[in-house]
């Protein structure tokens, strides 16, 4: 892609209302544009990252057996009256009146909707387990939308819903999602902390939040850093005891939110060098709530004895749009964003020092094609701008590998390469640079 053929409206100024780095950087790098309070357009660069995160989430959920579908954003209020949540949900629920004076709501979540789908089609234990997910926009009329897409009113969520015959089977589904979440966050290169959580509005008895610690989170978390070093084997875990063991590897380490934190136990259990506390950003939240929705909504199945029983359910959310901001919050410096290879909008940036030099353009075109043959995405800054501006913008948008090419480099068949992750520079032969970057980018993109 050539910069002049794409759309990246970068901006030097720090927007006045953007209080945290990710919000500032997303606006300055032309990723998003605010349309009204808590509502954003995703400009091409931001949209590219959003799609890459979505893809990783989708791949891992499918590997864990969840099946993708798509439910609408608008829901009938009747379902929420059936579940008993209509009155309790409060002002965060956005209600819409259609031309027939019927009330609809812009879905803040989909437990009711998916339960309705389930009960319409599934009648027997033989069709279980079932896990359905979608990646769809939600709306919550947050009282204080802030920090850009971190706490928006409209936001993109991946929400999965599991259906099982009984509590034990339902636990299995919960643990599968737990492990799938760990895998997703590892691929996104963020260290997340699973913390036992209150299930709040969604309900149920078993719940974990997945949070990352950054300078700008909300609410304190405490944990044992050793949990970040755990490795997951790639085996598909299917029986309850294997799953329990895998989840237990994570939950054996101390982790707590402020309200559940016990300083005495923290100090007893965690050696000082592994103690970590800081402000948390919640990027995922999972719930197991048994019959909470299926019972009032009469989502019954026949069990092995031929008896009608309510199906056991769980729900599993990931803030896909929030993750874009969370990753930036986690990985940036004074100059801009530093994307992990797995979600970077482009892997390689090429700065054309002399935009009108035909020789340079030709060589850049060749280098670009070679990268692309290796499935790496390239952004060539071919604008008629100062080299200083081009450097600053490349740093701002955060691509991992940046090549600078001018007439002298072409004569010497050498190129300056900047490695954004380590903030180091090397002068390499053109061939050497291509090989190095290709192998580095591939290695780091792999799950
Ligand atoms: C789980 C899936 C649920 O809604 N129902 C379906 C359950 N959980 S949750 O914790 O309320 O939300 C899941 C994740 O969505 C993100 N999120 C948000 N992202 C941006 N702006 C918001 N206002 C917002 N609210 C929730 C979070 O990452 C949360 O973990």
pLDDT along the chain (447 residues), means of 10: 96 88 97 96 98 98 97 96 92 95 96 98 97 98 92 97 97 97 96 88 82 90 95 79 92 93 95 96 96 97 96 98 97 97 98 87 94 97 94 97 90 92 94 95 65
Residue-level pLDDT at 75:
97
Q: Cβ distance 317 to 199 under 8 Å? A: no
3-state secondary structure of 330: helix
Domains and CATH numbers, the chain: 11-337 (3.30.930.10), 348-446 (3.40.50.800)
Residue nearest to atom 26 of ligand 1 (CA): 319
Q: What is the DSSP letter of 144?
A: S
Specify burial of residue 184 (Cβ count, 10 A radius: 0-12, 13-18, 19+).
buried
Strand 378-381 and strand 348-352: pairing?
parallel
Out of 157, 190, 195, 281, mutate this one to test ligand 1's pocket (max ligand atoms within 8 Å of CB): namely: 157
Ligand 1, pocket-test mutation among 140, 317, 329, most atoms within 8 A of CB:
317
Rg of the chain on CA atoms, in Å? 24
What pLDDT, on the 0 to 100 scale, is given for residue 383? Answer: 94
In the prediction, which pLDDT does 198 show?
Answer: 78
- The DSSP annotation for 26-60 comes to HHHTTSEEEEETTEEEE-HHHHHHHHHHHHHHHHH
Instruction: Please give the Cα distance from 319 to 332 (Å, whole number).
Output: 20
C-alpha 157 to ligand 1 mean position (Å): 7
Quick one: pLDDT at residue 447? Answer: 44
The model carries a pTM of 0.96
Preceding amide of 415 cis, omega within 30? no
Residue 138 Cα distances to 61, 134, 173, 189, 217, angstroms: 19, 11, 24, 25, 21
Separation of CA 104 and ligand 1 centre (Å):
20
In this prediction, residue 391 carries a pLDDT of: 95
Distance 236 CA to ligand 1 centre (A): 27
The residue whose CA is least distant from atom 8 of ligand 1 is 317
Pairing of the two strands 67-68 and 130-139: parallel
Span from the CA of 314 to the centroid of ligand 1 (angstroms): 14
pLDDT reported for residue 357: 84
Residues forming a β-bridge with 414: 429
């Amino acid at each position: 892609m050539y910069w002049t053929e794409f759309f990246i409206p970068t901006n030097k100024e720090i927007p006045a209302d953007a209080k945290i780095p990710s919000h500032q950087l997303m606006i300055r790098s032309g990723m998003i544009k605010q349309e009204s309070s808590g509502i954003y357009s995703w400009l091409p660069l931001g949209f590219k990252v959003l799609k890459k995160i979505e893809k990783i989430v989708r791949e891992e959920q499918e590997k864990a057996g969840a099946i993708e579908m798509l439910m609408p954003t608008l829901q009938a209020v009747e379902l929420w009256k059936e579940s008993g949540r209509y009155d309790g949900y409060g002002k965060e629920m956005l209600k819409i009146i259609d031309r027939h004076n019927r009330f609809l709501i812009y879905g803040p979540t989909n437990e009711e909707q998916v339960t309705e789908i389930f009960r319409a089609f599934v009648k027997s234990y033989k069709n279980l387990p079932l896990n359905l997910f979608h990646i769809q926009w939600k709306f919550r009329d947050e009282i204080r939308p802030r920090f850009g897409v971190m706490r928006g009113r409209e936001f993109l969520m991946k929400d999965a819903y599991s259906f099982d015959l009984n509590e034990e089977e339902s636990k299995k589904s919960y643990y599968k999602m737990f492990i799938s979440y760990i895998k997703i966050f590892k691929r996104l290169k963020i260290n997340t902390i699973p913390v036992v959580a209150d299930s709040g509005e969604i309900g149920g008895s078993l719940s974990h939040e997945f949070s990352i610690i950054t300078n700008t989170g909300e609410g304190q978390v405490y944990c044992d850093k050793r949990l970040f070093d755990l490795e997951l084997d790639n085996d598909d875990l299917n029986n309850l005891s294997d799953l329990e063991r895998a989840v237990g590897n994570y939950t054996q380490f101390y982790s707590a939110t402020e309200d559940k934190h016990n300083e005495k136990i923290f100090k007893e259990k965690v050696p000082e060098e592994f103690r970590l506390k800081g402000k948390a950003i919640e990027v995922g939240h999972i719930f197991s709530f048994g019959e909470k929705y299926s019972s009032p909504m009469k989502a019954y199945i026949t069990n092995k004895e031929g008896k009608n029983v309510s199906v056991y359910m769980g729900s599993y959310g990931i803030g896909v749009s929030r993750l874009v901001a969370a990753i930036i919050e986690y990985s940036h410096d004074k100059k801009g964003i530093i994307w992990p290879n797995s979600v970077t909008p482009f892997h390689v940036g090429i700065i054309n020092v002399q935009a009108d030099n035909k020789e340079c353009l030709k060589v850049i075109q060749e280098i670009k094609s070679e990268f692309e043959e290796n499935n790496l995405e390239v952004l060539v800054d071919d604008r008629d701008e100062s080299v200083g501006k081009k450097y600053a913008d490349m740093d701002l948008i955060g691509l991992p590998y940046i090549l600078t090419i001018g007439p002298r480099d072409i004569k010497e068949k050498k190129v300056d390469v900047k490695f954004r992750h380590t903030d180091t520079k090397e002068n390499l032969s053109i061939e050497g640079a291509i090989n190095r970057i290709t192998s580095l980018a591939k290695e780091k993109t792999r799950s």
